[in-house]
Chain A
Amino acid sequence: MSIDTFTDSGEKRARRGLSSLIRQQAEQSLAFASLVLIFLFFAFTNAAFYSWSNITGILLSTAVTGMLAIGTTFVIITGGIDLSIGTGTTLAAVVTAKMLTSLHLSVGTGILVGIAFGALFGALNGILITFLKLPPFIATLAMMLIAKGLALVISDVRPVYTDSVSGWSEIALGELIPNLPNAVLILALAAVIASIVLNRTIIGRYTFAIGSNEEATKLSGVNVKKWLILIYTIGGIFVGLAGILLTSRLSSAQPALGSGYELEAIAAVIIGGTSLLGGKGSILGTVIGALIMAVLINGLRIMEIQQEWQTVVVGVVIVLAVYTDSLRRRRAGLN
C-alpha cells in the first residue's frame, strides 16, 4: 500500500462528507419532527386545539417573538448575543406610537419610523460592540436597561393608545388572506426574506464567517467591524418590526410589555438548532423553534395547565433541545 500522507483514503473521506450532510439534514428534521409530534399529541388529546381559529391564534401569538427570533438568529450566528431585543421592542413600540399620535403620521410613515428606529437601535448595539469593544452580552444588557428606562420615560409610564390612527391595527389583525391575520403573513414573509439574506447574500456569508472564526475572517481582509454593525442593524430592523406588530395588535404601546421577550426569542433560536458558539444556524430552524414554543404553550393552556407550569415546561424543553444537540455534537466529534 502506498502511503499517501496528505490525506486519508478518498473513500473514507467521501463517506464522512455524506454522513455530515445527513447529520445536517437530521438536525432540522429532528426539530421539525418534534414540532409535528407535539402538534399531533395536542391535536389528539384535545379537540379544541385542532381548530383553524386556534391554529391562527398560535401563529398570531408567535408573531412578535418569532420576528425577534428571526432577527437575532443573525446575531447569534456571529457568535454574539442580543439581550436588548425585548425592551428594544417596547421602546420601538412607544416611540412609534408617540410619533404616530402626536405628529399624526400616516400608517406607512409610522411603519418606516418603527423600522428606522429599530435599525438605529441595532446599529448602536453594533457600535458599542465593535468600536468600544464591549462584549455583546454586556453591551446589549446595558442597552436592554437603557431601552427599558427610556420606554417608561417617553411614555410617562402610561400606555400610548393608537386607536386614533385609522388602519394601524389592520397591520397585524387585518386579513389580506381571509381567516389569516396579516401578522402571520408578515412573519412568513420576513422569514423568507431573512432566509434569502442569510443564505444568498454577502452579508449572510460574512455572518457565518465571523461566527466561525472572527480573527481568520479579519485576516482575510474582511472589514469585520463594519459587517458586525450591519448585522446588529438587521437584528434591530426586526426589533422595529416586532414593535410595529405589537402596537398594532394591542392598538397601543405598553411601556411595561416586552421585557422577557428576548429570552423567548433566544430560546426559539436555540431550539431551532442555531449554535450559541456561532457559525451555524438557519432561519427555518428558528421558525420551527418559535412554533414549538408557541404550540407547546397553547396546548398546555388548552389542557388547563397553570401558566406557572407552562413556563416550567418551556424551560425543560430548552434543556432537552440543547442536550440532544450537544449529544449529537459529541458523537460527531468522536468520529
Chain B
Amino acid sequence: MPTDQLLVISGVNKEFPGVQALQDVHLDLKAGEVHALVGENGAGKSTLMKILSGIYTKDSGSITYRGEQVNVASPLEAQQLGISIIHQEINLMPDLTVAENIFIGREPKRFFKIFLDKKLIVKNTHALLAEVNLRLDPNQKVGDLTVAKQQMVEIAKAVSYNGSVIIMDEPTSSLTTTETAALFKIIGDLKKAGKGIIYISHRLEELSQISDRVTVLRDGKYIDTVKTSETNISKIIALMIGRNVEQDLRPEVNTSTSEVVLEVKGLTTKRLLKDVSFDLKRGEILGFAGLVGAGRTEVALALIGRDPIVSGDIWVKGKEVKIHNPAKAVALGIGYLSEDRKRYGLLLGQDVSFNITLASIKRFTNWVGFFQKKSSGDAAKKAVKALSIKTPTIAQTAKNLSGGNQQKVVIAKWLTRECDILIFDEPTRGVDVGAKDEVYKLLRNLAAEGKSIIMISSELPEVLRLSDRIVVMCEGRVTGIQDNKDSDQNSLMKFATKYRA
C-alpha cells in the first residue's frame, strides 16, 4: 500500500429503517489531496461523512486509516484518529471568545487543574491563527463575528486537532467571493502540509479550482471517481443526476408588461440600505444579484415591513403605501419566500393543507370564527394539483416533503392568498440540481400568468437564466440595473463589486 494513502473506505453499507442510505460506497484519500464529494441532496454524502466522523456506525464494509483497519465508534475516537469535520451549520458558542471556542473541552489548566490558563489559550490561538493565515482577535466573542469569520474559526478549530483528514461540508455556502478565495488559500496551505481534505460542495464551479479528484454519489450508491483535470461541470452534473442539464440558458420569452406594480424610491434602513430605488412590472421577473451581504435580503425584509424603514417611499399599483408589518404587506398582495424556508416559510410540524391555507385562513372562516375544513381542503388540493406538489395527501406533514416540494408549498401559500407580487429569496437553495429546472419553469409560468416576481439569487447563471431585468447591489446600494440581454456574468460581477473608494 502506498504510504501517501491516508484513508480507504470500501464497500460501506448503511441502512436506516426503510431506507438504504449507503450501498457499497468507496472513497480513498491521499495525503495532500483535496477530494471532492458531490451528489444531490439525499445522495448519501452526509451519511458517509457522519460514519467517518463517528456519529453513525456503518452496517458493513471497511475503513482503513493509514493502512490500519479502524472502526470509528464515536466522534471522540474520530478526533483521536485525526479525522475532524467542519459541519455546514456553525457549531460555536456565540458567547465565548474565539480562543475559548477553539480549545473547548481541552483547555490548558493550571494550579491543580482548577483554573483555566487563559494566557496560554490565547497564545496558542495566536499561533494557530497565524498558521492558517487568519487575521482574527483570539479575545473577540464569536457572536460578534460575521458568519464568514465564524466559519474561519471552525476551520482553525478543525486544524487545531492536528488531524490528517479534514472534512469540510459545504464550507463556502455562506461565504462571499473574497472570503471563498481566502478559504481556498488556507486549503492550499493544508494540502502543502500533507493533510487530506474531503470537500463537499454544491457549488460545482468551485471544484475545478480546488479539488484534485471528484467522487460522485447518487441515491446512496457509488457512481464514479474522476480526476478534476479530466472532466467538466456538465459531465459531473450528468453523473450526479444521470442525465444532462443545460448550462447558461436565458429566458425564452419576456413576459413583462409596461404596467408598474411596485415602485421603490430611496429606500434606506438604519443598518444597511442606502437610497435603494427600482420598479417592478407586471409579469416581470426582476433579478437581484450581488454578493452575500450586499443587502438584497434586507430590501425584501424592509419591503414586507419586517425591518423598519428610515426613509423612502413605496408605491404599490400606483398608490403610495406605508408597510409597517408583514400583515400589511400581505394585505397588499406581497408575499415573501425566504431562503430559509424551514424557519421563515413553513410550519414543518403541520400538514400541507395547513401550510397552504395559513395566509388565507380568514377566507376559510365563517362569521362565527369556525374554520371551514372542506373549502380549505379543496383550495389546498387545487394548489397541490396546479403546482404538481408531490405529496400522497394534503394531510402529509410538511417536514416529510423534499426541499423542492416544500418550496412549492410555500409558493402555494401565497398563490392561495392571491398575492401577485412574489419575492423569492434564493428560490433554489436546498433544492436538488435536477429539481432546480422545475422551480425555474414554475417561476417563468407564474410570470407568464401576470405575477410580478423579485428573485434574489447568489448564483449568477440562475439570475441570467430567469430574469427579465437585473438589479445589482453592493454594500446596501443599487449599483446597476440592466436588461438581461445587456448582461453577462462579468458585467454583473463588476457592479456587484463596485465598492466605494
Binds B, one of A84-92, A215-223, A250-258: A215-223
A221 touches B330 (CB 8 A): yes
Query: For residues 390 through 409 of chain B, which have their beta carbon under 8 Å from a beta carbon of chain A?
Result: 390-393, 395-397, 400-402, 404-405
Query: How far is the CB of B380 from the nearest CB of chain A, in Å?
Result: 13
Q: A17-B392, A215-B343 are in contact. Are A8 and B402 (CB under 8 A)?
A: yes
Query: For residues 182 through 221 of chain A, which have their beta carbon under 8 Å from a beta carbon of chain B?
Result: 200-206, 208-209, 212-213, 215-221
A222 touches B327 (CB 8 A): yes
Q: A213-B348, A221-B359 are in contact. Are A7 and B327 (CB under 8 A)?
A: no
For A17, list chain B residues within 8 Å (CB): 392-393, 395-397, 400
Q: Is residue A301 contacting chain B, with contact meaning CB distance below 8 A?
A: no
A201 touches B369 (CB 8 A): yes
A6 touches B242 (CB 8 A): no
Q: Which chain A residue shows the least CB distance to B372?
A: A200
Q: A17-B392, A212-B348 are in contact. Are A219 and B370 (CB under 8 A)?
A: no
Q: Is residue B347 contacting chain A, with contact meaning CB distance below 8 A?
A: yes
Cβ 8 A contact of A14, one of B218, B338, B370, B392:
B392
CB-CB contacts of A1-22 with B at 8 A, as 1s and 0s? 0011111101011111100110
For A219, list chain B residues within 8 Å (CB): 304, 306, 326, 336, 338, 344-345
B side interface size, CB within 8 A: 57
CB-CB contacts of B24-42 with A at 8 A, as 1s and 0s? 0000000000000000100
Binds A, one of B122-130, B154-162, B273-281, B431-439: B431-439
A201 touches B402 (CB 8 A): no
For B361, list chain A residues within 8 Å (CB): 202, 205-206, 222
Q: Is residue A334 contacting chain B, with contact meaning CB distance below 8 A?
A: yes
A218 touches B326 (CB 8 A): yes
Q: A3-B434, A10-B392 are in contact. Are A212 and B400 (CB under 8 A)?
A: no
Query: For residues 307 through 335 of chain A, which have their beta carbon under 8 Å from a beta carbon of chain B?
Result: 334-335
Q: A201-B370, A221-B327 are in contact. Are A6 and B343 (CB under 8 A)?
A: no
Q: A10-B392, A17-B400, A201-B369 are in contact. Are A217 and B358 (CB under 8 A)?
A: yes
Complex Cα distance, B343 from A213, in Å, reads: 7
B358 touches A203 (CB 8 A): no
A212 touches B390 (CB 8 A): no
For B435, list chain A residues within 8 Å (CB): 5-6
Q: A13-B391, A13-B396, A209-B354 are in contact. Are A6 and B369 (CB under 8 A)?
A: no
Q: Is residue A249 contacting chain B, with contact meaning CB distance below 8 A?
A: no
Complex Cα distance, B344 from A31, in Å, reads: 33
Query: For residues 266 through 284 of chain A, which have their beta carbon under 8 Å from a beta carbon of chain B?
Result: 279-280
Cβ 8 A contact of B18, one of A223, A280, A335:
A335
For B390, list chain A residues within 8 Å (CB): 4, 6-7, 10, 13
Query: For residues 42 through 57 of chain A, which have their beta carbon under 8 Å from a beta carbon of chain B?
Result: none
Complex Cα distance, B17 from A280, in Å, reads: 25
B404 touches A205 (CB 8 A): no
CB-CB contacts of B212-251 with A at 8 A, as 1s and 0s? 0000001100000000000000000000011100000000
Cβ 8 A contact of A221, one of B326, B344, B371, B432:
B326
A212 touches B371 (CB 8 A): no
Complex Cα distance, B338 from A6, in Å, reads: 19
CB-CB contacts of B296-324 with A at 8 A, as 1s and 0s? 00000000101000000000000000000
Q: Is residue B61 contacting chain A, with contact meaning CB distance below 8 A?
A: no
Query: How far is the CB of B331 from the nearest CB of chain A, in Å?
Result: 7
Complex Cα distance, B469 from A254, in Å, reads: 72
Q: A209-B354, A222-B358 are in contact. Are A216 and B343 (CB under 8 A)?
A: yes
A280 touches B349 (CB 8 A): yes
Complex Cα distance, B242 from A304, in Å, reads: 72
Q: A3-B242, A200-B370, A219-B304 are in contact. Are A279 and B327 (CB under 8 A)?
A: no
Q: Is residue B466 contacting chain A, with contact meaning CB distance below 8 A?
A: no
For B331, list chain A residues within 8 Å (CB): 221
Q: Is residue B487 contacting chain A, with contact meaning CB distance below 8 A?
A: no
Cβ 8 A contact of A5, one of B345, B395, B401, B434:
B434
Complex Cα distance, B219 from A15, in Å, reads: 19
From B326, B331, B348, name the one whose CB has the most chain A CB atoms within 10 angstroms.
B326
B242 touches A220 (CB 8 A): no
Q: Is residue B48 contacting chain A, with contact meaning CB distance below 8 A?
A: no
For A334, list chain B residues within 8 Å (CB): 16-17
Q: A219-B344, A220-B358, A334-B16 are in contact. Are A205 and B371 (CB under 8 A)?
A: yes
Q: A17-B393, A202-B361, A216-B347 are in contact. Are A5 and B404 (CB under 8 A)?
A: yes
Q: Is residue B166 contacting chain A, with contact meaning CB distance below 8 A?
A: no
Query: How far is the CB of B99 from the nearest CB of chain A, in Å?
Result: 31
A5 touches B396 (CB 8 A): no
Instruction: Sort A-B residue pairs by CB-CB distance and give the 5 closest, nearest first.
Output: A221-B330, A212-B347, A7-B390, A5-B434, A14-B392
Chain B interface (Cβ < 8 Å from any Cβ of A): 16-18, 40, 218-219, 241-243, 304, 306, 325-327, 329-331, 336, 338, 343-350, 354, 358-359, 361-362, 365, 368-371, 373, 390-393, 395-397, 400-402, 404-405, 413, 417, 432-435, 438
Chain A interface (Cβ < 8 Å from any Cβ of B): 3-8, 10, 12-17, 20-21, 200-206, 208-209, 212-213, 215-223, 279-280, 334-335
- In addition to A3-B241, A202-B362, A221-B326, 5 A-B residue pairs with Cβ atoms within 8 Å of each other are A5-B433, A7-B390, A208-B347, A220-B359, A221-B329
